[in-house]
Amino acid sequence: MPSLAESMDALRAIADSAPVSALASAFAANGHEFALVGGPVRDALLGRPVTDLDFTTSARPEETQRILETLSGSVWDVGRDFGTIAARVHGETVEVTTYRAEIYRDDSRKPEVTYGDTIEGDLVRRDFTINALALMLPELRLVDVSGGVEDLLAGVIRTPASPAVSFTDDPLRMLRAARFAAQLGFDVEAGTLAAMAEYADRLDIISAERIRDELVKLLSAPDPAPGIRLLVDTGLADRFLPELTALVTTQDDHGRHKDVYEHSLTVLRQAIELEIARRAPEETAPDLVLRLAALLHDIGKPATRRFERGGVTFHHHDVVGAKLAKKRLRELRFDNDTIKRVARLVELHLRFFGYSDQQWTDAAVRRYVRDAGEELERLHILTRADVTTRNRRKAERLEHAYDDIERRIAELAEAEELAAVRPELDGGQIMRLLGIPAGPLVGRAYRYLLEVRLDEGPIGAEAAEDRLRAWYAEQPEANPEANGA
């Protein structure tokens, strides 16, 4: 953590920026308290980049909107019921929320909101002490009502109020504790950790969309594993991702040095390292599809575990896992594109293994590329990350094998436009050549030519026509009388 002087310099720089200075002056001129609050204050004190600007004020939402309209022509209602108004001020998007208190009733998924009158009252109701910090503006006065600065220095996550009250009021805070532990590398205080386990079933009142959003933020951390461990250890994962907890007691194929759960966390870490190493310079956003696939790639193992001849097998866990991933991500309200991509990666993650024992033909390589489609680069990363063996010789053999298959894919792609593998004849050409109308027969003919393309590479349009005629001559539709029609 930076020195106090460095931290205050960072806060002063934020306060002196054009949008913040304009906001502070406008609210002060209208007789209202105004403060930078929560994450931006925390991150400035920690020396982390400050990206979002969140403010709180004594003004009620209607007055906040009126003041913002004097500064910007772009003002909108983010959630008036929650007291939040947003605007674009000097090119920055800002959100201003009225001092508030909120609680969840036992049978409610939505908080009940009441407005407060003091910054101290607002801060006490916040999730954790490290976020219960405010910089009053324009006077540059730091308000810390619950020891948040001390907890930042100690690297501790705890609630301002008792954790029982805090997690009963808003159960989503339990997931946020896991997320902050991963993002900041902090430890959860013992009482707070115990309450996460005690009140885990309270998470059931939270909507799937809000749980999904927290999971996404957790997986976007540089190392999500500590947060995931907290979710599993406290029983929170059981409430929305029970397949993850089921991995804990599922031994790997050899039953020796790791269980499937530990293996999955290692794969996730290694996938993130490879993702960062291989991404283009302009790419900065975490690859959520890859990270979900890495975390979930083995969730089919518990359902497929069998004890055979003194060993453990997980036959078809890739196919079963893909189905489970679809089901779980759908229940968490992920979008269809993400669900499809993650499930495809889970289904394909075993396809490569065996290549090191017997090199594939060019046809097999083409099929691998065809089946992976747009997920080929992610599949490269996932397959490499899936090697967690402690046997150095085996690990090196697999690494060299994957280097080889990527080289062959690149060579075939350059020679054959592999990324767009398709037959030499399209559907229209097939219909004209065979004199047949659109229908299932055209699809069968197209698939036949695609298999020829995959097996043999480009053969040219003339050869493709000859092969198609020969194939059609053997079909029942070509000689209906001989087939009893």
> 292-335, pLDDT tens digit by residue?
999 999 999 999 888 877 678 888 999 999 999 999 999 999 99
Higher pLDDT, 14 or 396: 14
Strand 84-89 with 75-79, pairing: antiparallel
Q: How confident is the model at residue 58 (pLDDT cuts 50, 70, 90)?
A: very high
Average pLDDT over residues 178-183: 97
Which residue type is seen at 116? G
Distance (Å, whole) CA 406 – CA 403: 5
CATH of the structural domain 4-154, one choice from 3.30.300.130, 1.10.230.10, 3.30.460.10, 3.30.70.2170: 3.30.460.10
Higher pLDDT, 358 or 157: 157
Sign of CA dihedral 175, 176, 182, 183: positive
Instruction: Specify the 3-state DSSP secondary structure of 284.
Output: coil
Residues of the chain with CATH 3.30.460.10: 4-154
Rg of the chain taking only CA atoms, in angstroms: 29
Higher pLDDT, 199 or 404: 199
CA atoms within 13 A on the CB side of 208: 10
Architecture of domain 156-240: Orthogonal Bundle (1.10)
Distance (Å, whole) CA 149 – CA 182: 19
Closest to 451 measured CA to CA, from 428, 423, 478, 425: 423
- Whether omega for the bond prior to residue 138 falls within 30 degrees of 0, making it cis, is yes
For residue range 425-451, what is the model confidence (pLDDT) as tens digits?
Answer: 888 888 888 888 888 888 888 888 888
- DSSP code, position 202: G
For residue range 10-43, what is the model confidence (pLDDT) as tens digits?
Answer: 999 999 999 999 999 999 999 999 999 999 999 9
Rounded percentage of the chain residues whose pLDDT exceeds 70: 92
Average pLDDT over residues 149-173: 94
Higher pLDDT, 352 or 90: 90
Distance (Å, whole) CA 213 – CA 316: 31
In terms of phi and psi (left: phi > 0; alpha: psi -120 to 50; beta: otherwise), the region of 103 is beta
Strand 92-98 with 53-57, pairing: parallel
Residues of the chain with CATH 1.10.110.30: 156-240
Query: Are the C-beta atoms of residues 376 and 410 closer than 8 Å to each other?
Result: no
Residue 481 tokens read as: 């009388």
Q: How confident is the model at residue 117 (pLDDT cuts 50, 70, 90)?
A: confident
pLDDT > 60? residue 102: no
Helix or strand (DSSP H, E) at 340: helix 336-348
For residue range 219-241, what is the model confidence (pLDDT) as tens digits?
Answer: 999 999 999 999 999 999 999 99
In terms of pTM, does the model score above 0.85? no
Distance (Å, whole) CA 36 – CA 24: 9
Higher pLDDT, 154 or 107: 154
- Mean pLDDT taken over the chain: 88
Q: How confident is the model at residue 259 (pLDDT cuts 50, 70, 90)?
A: confident
Query: Are the C-beta atoms of residues 134 and 152 closer than 8 Å to each other?
Result: no
Average pLDDT over residues 96-108: 71
Residue 109 has a pLDDT of 52
For residue range 442-482, what is the model confidence (pLDDT) as tens digits?
Answer: 888 888 888 887 777 778 888 888 888 898 888 888 776 55
- Residue 108 makes CB contacts below 8 A (sequence gap 6+) with 205
Distance (Å, whole) CA 475 – CA 82: 67
pLDDT > 70? residue 361: yes
Query: Are the C-beta atoms of residues 300 and 314 closer than 8 Å to each other?
Result: yes
Q: How confident is the model at residue 144 (pLDDT cuts 50, 70, 90)?
A: very high
Q: How confident is the model at residue 112 (pLDDT cuts 50, 70, 90)?
A: low
